[in-house]
Amino acid sequence: MVSTRAGIQWVLVIAAALCVSVGHANEVSWITGQNCAPGWTIDPAQPRDTDTIRFSGPVRFYLNQCVAEKSLGGKPTLFVNHEERTIELRFLAPPSNDCTEFWSPVCGLRGSVGPLEAGQWQLFSHTSGAAFSLEFAVEGATILSVRYVDANAPGAQNGSSWKDAINRLQDALVGAREGTEIRVAQGTYCPDVGADIEPGDQHAMFRLNEGVVLKGGYAGWRGTNPNARDVRAFPTILSGDLFHDDKPLSRLSDMLGAADRWDNSYHIVSISGTDAAAALDGFTITAGTDTDTDLPDELGGGGGIYNDSGNATIRNCLIIGNGSLYRGGGFYCRGNCTVVLIDCTIADNWSKWSGGGLYYHWSSNVVLNRCVITGNGAEFQGGGICSHGGGQLLVSNSLLSGNRGTDPTWSAGGALYGSGMKALLNHCTLVGNRAAFGTAMAFELFDESDAGEIHLSNCIVWGDPNLIYGQEKALMEITDSDVRGGWAGRSNIDVDPCFVEMGSWSDAGTVYDPCDDAWTNGDYRLRWASRCVDTGNLEATWDPNGMDLGGQPRASGLTVDIGAYELRNDPPLADAGPDAVGFTLHSATKGMVTLDASRSYDPEGQPLRYRWYYNDELVGEQALFTTELLAGVYRFKVVVSDPTGQTESDETTATVTLVVNTKTFISPQKLPRNGTQDVLAMTVLPKGKFPKDFDTSEPLRLFPGGVAAVKQSAFIWLSGDTMVLGTFKHADVMAAVSANGLTEMRIVGRLKDGQYFSAVDKVTIK
């Protein structure tokens, strides 16, 4: 089954959330480690009303997350008040109960919020131990008026508030002038619903005007906070299913022939004639089916979005399950214009001829940043993206996966096809695409004027063989990239990119019918073993200060990575372990202690190097470090480092105490090696000590071997002495003592004041 059916739609929404940095706000988590930044900060420092704002800052140092939450009152939670423009960090009960990790320090919090409305904001907390206040301004386009749209609003329907919101989106768009922002609540809106529109009119579409901002994803009248905005939690759907009768499809191409699709909207949204101030933000656009045979084929296309010479910006939109008889099933663009798509997903759209996901021509300029083009199909050219004649395509930090050309003989350019176009791709991943010619990309020339330029840098091009098809007049330059099968060019490599998980195709049991094949996306972040990590070219990166497809900053390591994702290299967490205690055993003045840093870890799972220092002198290079020390107290430091040189340190205390000698009796005095009887040791506590002074939290130890007692108890004996009785498993004792004969055995125990006591007895092992 192809993913145009409703059930798959939300799978793709989830996949898009994994791959794309979409603003959805209100997340907060702990920062591990012991050295946090000195103050609270936000990123970007000067946010706009379309940005997701990331914040971080310090709290008091706590032993672990569980201790922190119990101390502060509960789990960290954000409360956003859109009317007062405040973001409060509170700690809500109950706190975490997972206190199994004793030493896993935390010292700060980080999270994300937004996008936020333009204006002055305050991020603060009044909780003792985490109190702070940070004021910042959110910039936005000049908004002269706001109109509210909510199909469920019960009020006057004048658009002045959520209660009085306009019920029909078409009515809100009528007469909307430059500087108007239209906020649309969650729900489904069809373009044939509005004043002076005939229900079922396939030509009706939502038309965006110059300077108008259309924003979806609001909770709306029925929400606890109507102004809350989250495009995933509160999906706003613009649907072309005018009669609400679309059924799931088994073949992607059936959306053009199925009876229940033939009466859908030809186009759902039009951004024709808009200027750069116009914006479409936070919508799911689905079920548009351009089957209008009255138009010339050069004008036909854009089941989801149609654009003729418009310059709008499109953000946080999911364009899914749309089709066209001619071109641009999801998005059709023509004319002298520049369209910018940011944090968008174009998925599972279909075109009979070209550009299943996106088609543009006639000097159109298209910019894609942090976008996912996946699962789209066309019969002949450009399953994902297609261009004919002029125009420029700029794609950065984006994924083109699982797109297909379905004609087994003539299809070309599974992800991207062009003729006479200029395309520049930077930090993109093209994987799992299919076509007869150029499974990833194809470029063809039809006359002397068709010569185009294709430039790829810092890209991964992977998948089936025959990845790239091109004719000689198309200037095709690939540099600093990983191309399966190899490609001549500066610093190119041909190695497995080591994705976290590769996507896969399913042929639905029909090997010879590519139209019913289903693509399941993988996880195209990189593993540390990948040769694509820290081998890109920073000078070829268009915006080193920008974000990758997953919202991570570029140039986070030695240099940039190749592909859509940047593998962030966080420093390791050093954990020197709990304080170690030893006691003098074989010598009157020295004892052995073991320091344990094995709970140190690297967030990316890289192998760690350990170095132990005492008085700035290197004394050990293993996670477990055992040393003999004179009785006393010592401070050790462990430094852990990952292969990139990132280091963190931690300290612990080692104490060696002198034991107090006492007396013990071990039974039986003759131990048969092949016996089963447990070994008992009755030991006298030092004078003046009582049962309450014995530390039952630490087991008695029997040496050689340091065998731990399986039972132990303290009591007053008839003589008035305090005795400790310990039971040791016979098999454990025999495993610790290899030789038969007369053997000296020592019992060691601990008092609650930290003092150790020790006594010796001799037994015969036979």
Classify strands 53-62 and 106-113 as parallel, antiparallel or unpaired.
antiparallel
How far is the first Cα of the chain from the last one, in angstroms, to the nearest whole number?
A: 74
Answer yes or no: is pLDDT of 19 > 60: no
Pair (372, 402) in one structural domain: yes
Q: What is the pLDDT of residues 330-342, one digit of tens each?
A: 999 999 999 999 9
Does residue 389 fall inside a structural domain? Answer: yes
Determine the Cα–Cα distance for residues 578 and 597; give it in Å rounded to an integer. 9
Domain boundary residue, one of 628, 657, 686: 657
Residue 4 binned pLDDT confidence (cut-offs 50, 70, 90) = very low
Does residue 40 fall inside a structural domain? Answer: yes
Residue 114 binned pLDDT confidence (cut-offs 50, 70, 90) = confident
Classify strands 279-281 and 206-207 as parallel, antiparallel or unpaired.
unpaired
Residue 9 binned pLDDT confidence (cut-offs 50, 70, 90) = very low
pLDDT at res. 8: 33
Q: What is the pLDDT of residues 454-474, one digit of tens each?
A: 999 999 999 988 999 986 667
Residues 6+ apart with CB under 8 A from 570: 603, 604, 646
CB 584 within 8 A of CB 656: yes
Pair (647, 727) in one structural domain: no
Q: What is the pLDDT of residues 463-503, one digit of tens each?
A: 988 999 986 667 789 999 999 999 999 999 999 999 999 99
pLDDT at res. 51: 80
Residue 52 binned pLDDT confidence (cut-offs 50, 70, 90) = confident
Pair (685, 556) in one structural domain: no
Does residue 410 fall inside a structural domain? Answer: yes
Domain boundary residue, one of 81, 114, 138: 138
Pair (509, 646) in one structural domain: no
Pair (491, 524) in one structural domain: yes
pLDDT at res. 741: 94
% of the chain beyond a pLDDT of 70: 93
Does residue 29 fall inside a structural domain? Answer: yes
Answer yes or no: is pLDDT of 12 > 50: no
Determine the Cα–Cα distance for residues 518 and 374; give it in Å rounded to an integer. 11
Pair (586, 497) in one structural domain: no
Overall number of domains in the chain: 4
- Identify the domain containing residue 98 by its residue range: 25-138
Please give the biggest Cα pair distance in the chain. Answer: 112
Determine the Cα–Cα distance for residues 389 and 524; give it in Å rounded to an integer. 32
Pair (510, 390) in one structural domain: yes
Determine the Cα–Cα distance for residues 443 and 15; give it in Å rounded to an integer. 29
Pair (403, 475) in one structural domain: yes
Pair (686, 735) in one structural domain: yes
Pair (710, 617) in one structural domain: no
Pair (533, 645) in one structural domain: no
Does residue 202 fall inside a structural domain? Answer: no
Pair (458, 597) in one structural domain: no
pLDDT at res. 21: 33
Q: What is the pLDDT of residues 620-643, one digit of tens each?
A: 999 999 999 998 999 999 999 988
> What average pLDDT does range 60-78 have in this prediction?
84
Determine the Cα–Cα distance for residues 33 and 666; give it in Å rounded to an integer. 47
Q: What is the pLDDT of residues 668-714, one digit of tens each?
A: 999 999 989 999 999 999 999 999 999 998 899 998 888 999 999 99
Domain boundary residue, one of 568, 597, 630: 568
> What average pLDDT does range 112-130 have in this prediction?
86
Q: Which residues of 271-301 are buried (b: 16+ CB within 10 A; e: fewer)?
A: bbbbebbbbbbbbbbbbbbbbbeeeeeeebb
CA 89 to chain centre: 22
Q: What is the pLDDT of residues 167-212, one digit of tens each?
A: 999 999 998 999 999 999 999 999 999 999 999 999 999 999 999 9
CATH no. for residue 692? 2.60.40
% of the chain beyond a pLDDT of 90: 62
Kindly report the pTM of this predicted structure: 0.70
Does residue 364 fall inside a structural domain? Answer: yes
Which residue in 636, 666, 644 sits closest to 745, CA to CA? 666
pLDDT at res. 16: 35
Which residue type sits at 249?
L
> What average pLDDT does range 289-295 have in this prediction?
81
149-155, long-range: CB < 8 A, 24+ apart: 149/182, 149/183, 149/184, 149/185, 149/189, 150/184, 150/185, 150/187, 150/218, 150/220, 150/221, 151/185, 151/187, 151/189, 152/185, 152/187, 152/220, 152/221, 152/222, 153/185, 153/220, 153/221, 154/221
